[in-house]
Amino acid sequence: MQLLALMDYSEAFKRTLFEFEITGAELSRKSGVSTQQISAFKNGRQGLSTDTLQKLLEALQPKARAYFYHLVQLPPEQPARAAENGGVYPK
């Protein structure tokens, strides 16, 4: 299982939740990912697998998802391609 780098993704994730006023509890309900795991990732204490990040991103509204992609400078199709490639993001 490939883990995502903490700094870039967790900071972008935290900013996205803040900008769109999304709570960890709300995102947990929509994604099926525990609030503890969301909090640990958001605060840079724990990485996420690409599968888990994909669940979180799919639970976001489209504008919030696009904002996250902008922050990490990923085109929207890359997470899906990463999942097809065993969890490795293309460079």
Residue 56 has pLDDT above 60, yes or no: yes
User: Whole-model pTM?
Assistant: 0.72
Question: Which pLDDT belongs to residue 79?
Answer: 52
Residue 47 has pLDDT above 70, yes or no: yes
Distances (CA, A) of 65 to 1, 20, 58, 59: 23, 10, 8, 9
